Structure 1
Amino acid sequence: MFKHLLKKKTLTKAVYDERWAWLVRADTDLAAVNTWDPDLRRNKRILVPIDVQAYVAKESNPEPLVSVTGGPGDPAPFAEGQVPENGVHLHWALPDALLRGANQLQAASWK
């Protein structure tokens, strides 16, 4: 099928190359990789699950919403909300464990 594209020796060499393995693990193509920032380090990654919720606001159903962040400046309970602009409004939150972190210098000063 692809005999006309690559010689067997060239293909074998490419498949066992570390760059080929990296490209396959990234599940992308070379054109996309060429758009990435070359100064961004990519050797270590962490996958963080994030809770994402979407609210669709339409003119046909104007429902007021109250913006609550769980921090200072939140409105009083049962406050009147505002009708959001039309569109999709995203709310996302990090896992609780990542909200309570400290660097090693701070942690050492707390002991």
Structure 2
Amino acid sequence: MQRPSVPEDLDHPQRLWARAVTLAVVAAAVDDWDEFTWGERGLECWNGGGSYWWRLKLFEDGRALLCGHADGSYTHDGGRRIDFLAGGPEWLPRERLRDDARGNLLGFLYWWQQGA
């Protein structure tokens, strides 16, 4: 049975970053349908089969952002789209995340600040 993730399911952002970079390096050596890009928005992964995507960004002040979508991500509650930004801190890149949410492309959103 699948259940929605909770923050305690995630490692510290530095460990997530190490895993993400390792995946990007491996993907550069093999054709696994994952395409990685690095830029201003962080490290992004898009699955060529359309099963998932994710973005991980670490900020210099210790904050972090992990967002994306995977098959089975919950984007609606009943008939209403879930507002993943509700209650979120002001520093979240809201415009970008709202663009991601259009068309049900945003299926999860986690942020890290002040040690949690």
TM-score by length of 2: 0.21
Is the radius of gyration larger for structure 1 or structure 2? 1
Between the two structures, name the one with larger relative contact order (CA 8 Å, sep ≥ 6): 1
TM-score by length of 1: 0.21
Would you tell me which structure has more strand in proportion to its own residues? 2
